Amino acid sequence: MKPIIGITSDIDENGETFLKADYSRAILRAGGLPVVLPAGLEDIEEICSRIDGLLLTGGEDVNPLLFGEEPKRELGKIAPERDEMEIALAKCAIGKDMPVIGICRGHQILNVALGGTIYQHIYSDLEGPLLQHKQQADRNYPTHTVVVEEGSRLSTYVDGNEVLVNSLHHQAVHDIPKPLVVTARAKDGIIEALESKEHKFVMSVQWHPEALSNRGDETSLRLFEGLVEASKQQ
């Protein structure tokens, strides 16, 4: 049987749930069965017991109150209801050693769920020259390079030690809690990927592989295949 992959969703201005189709398409291509989880979902433990893997998706900013900071003026739109649900789901899934992958906002949520922090706005929080991390090109195209740590799980999906990625964020992970470790950085030092050294399959990336997989990007597809394969053993 195909493993069931729960995919978190977003909330629009009318309170309606929505999700870009790229995420479900990527899971389907990888051999999984995608199930969209409505934002603000209750019965977290029950849902967590019904899925085999979890995909934390991209979206708006993470509420800084969740990691002990007041909101700065550069903070964008937040969705506290979504934050609460996704952090609860992440903690539940990790507690069960369920395969989890976080993408963009999901990368940041995973870090916060385990006790880490994020930069609210990298262009005011960090000194020195930074790359363009909120690209002007279409989201389906890569625009900058990421350097991958040798020996990491991510490195098994990448040809060589560098990969071209798309970039659609102005926040980034900051303090990294155990058991997470950094597995990739942009050439300006921004952390682009994390993974747990204590779990079967817990990892995250700052870019959007679901969009790149629409262009037949093999590295991106391998990430989802890795999630699906690990979920079969759940």
Take residue 215 and report the two structure tokens written for it: 């262009």
Number of H helices, E strands in the chain: 7, 13
CB 60 within 8 Å of CB 77: yes
Task: State the pLDDT confidence band at 233, using cuts at 50, 70 and 90.
Answer: confident
Distance CA 159, CA 104 (A): 22
Distance CA 184, CA 208 (A): 14
- Tell me if residue 208 is catalytic: yes
Q: Is the pLDDT of residue 41 over 80?
A: no
- Tell me if residue 170 is catalytic: no
Q: Is the pLDDT of residue 152 over 90?
A: yes
Report the pLDDT value the prediction gives residue 22, as an integer from 0 to 100.
96
CB 119 within 8 Å of CB 222: no
Residue among 113, 184, 194, 112 nearest 146 (CA): 184
Any idea which residue has 């979504």 for tokens?
A: 82
- Tell me if residue 210 is catalytic: yes
CA angle 178, 179, 183 (to 5 degrees): 100
Report the pLDDT value the prediction gives residue 39, as an integer from 0 to 100.
82
Report the pLDDT value the prediction gives residue 215, as an integer from 0 to 100.
87
Per-residue pLDDT averaged across 30-52, rounded?
92
Any idea which residue has 């995420």 for tokens?
A: 23
Report the pLDDT value the prediction gives residue 232, as an integer from 0 to 100.
94
User: What would the pLDDT profile of 109-146 be if each residue is shown by its tens digit?
Assistant: 999 999 999 999 999 999 989 999 999 999 999 999 99
Report the pLDDT value the prediction gives residue 107, as an integer from 0 to 100.
98
Query: In the chain, how long is the greatest CA-to-CA distance?
Result: 50
Take residue 4 and report the two structure tokens written for it: 């069931």
User: What would the pLDDT profile of 162-180 be if each residue is shown by its tens digit?
Assistant: 999 999 999 999 999 999 9
Backbone angles phi, psi at 206, to 5 degrees: -80, -20
Residue among 51, 49, 40 nearest 9 (CA): 40
Residue in 133, 170, 199, 208 annotated catalytic: 208
Task: State the pLDDT confidence band at 24, using cuts at 50, 70 and 90.
Answer: very high
Any idea which residue has 């729960």 for tokens?
A: 6
Residue in 86, 192, 195, 210 annotated catalytic: 210
Per-residue pLDDT averaged across 64-70, rounded?
98
Residue in 104, 133, 144, 170 annotated catalytic: 104
At 201, is the secondary structure helix, strand, or coil?
coil
Distance CA 94, CA 102 (A): 12
Residue among 44, 120, 142 nearest 84 (CA): 44
Backbone angles phi, psi at 162, to 5 degrees: -130, 150
Report the pLDDT value the prediction gives residue 42, as an integer from 0 to 100.
79
Distance CA 218, CA 138 (A): 19
Backbone angles phi, psi at 118, to 5 degrees: -135, 155
31 Rama sector, left if φ>0, alpha if ψ -120 to 50, beta otherwise: left
